[in-house]
Structure 1
Amino acid sequence: MVLNSPFTTWEGNDVHGRRPVVTGVGVRLDRLFARPPGATRRVIASGLDLTGEARGRLHGRFPGVEGDWLGVVDYEIGYADGRRDKLYLVDQLVPFHVLRKR
């Protein structure tokens, strides 16, 4: 299933099929999941690693009421202990200021 917003860009045609244009992005996890100033830090080795940048796929967009844009993004977050499994997040609304075009 594909999220169809009025602002989704499509490629293809009705004969051969239409698909949303997907743009590779980096999701800046440090900015998306910013910690409050002065918050106590406690490391949980099996927790999600919310630092750095995760690879994502932007496939839709929506404007906010105050003019800020939100991207519809699929991305993965790894675990701090380095395991191969990742948490795969689908159709997440993410503010454009945390995205970087890849």
Structure 2
Amino acid sequence: MTRRERWPAVYIMASKRNGTLYTGVTSDLPQRAWQHREGVADGFTKRYGCKTLVWHEMAGAMNTAIAREKQIKAGSRSRKRALIEEMNPDWNDLFESIAHG
């Protein structure tokens, strides 16, 4: 992994286009997205099938990432959808783009 992939990140996983959304924070985005995809950890994303990485944003520090996650979670569903569609209008799975550089 490159150094950039180890930086803190905020991300959104989806069950499908306009489906259930999960917002999270991690220090290793490729690993965490893989865990959601494979359903290796019990919890919200496994229960609701949120396996598609549809949005992410890198942060310079974990406290910055956590603050951004809280901001996103406090926002409306329409604001989350707007964030996704600005970066990823077709709601494609972004996993391959972060897993392989």
TM-score (norm 1): 0.21
Structure of higher RCO (CA pairs closer than 8 Å, 6+ residues apart): 2
Max radius of gyration: which structure?
1
TM-score (norm 2): 0.22
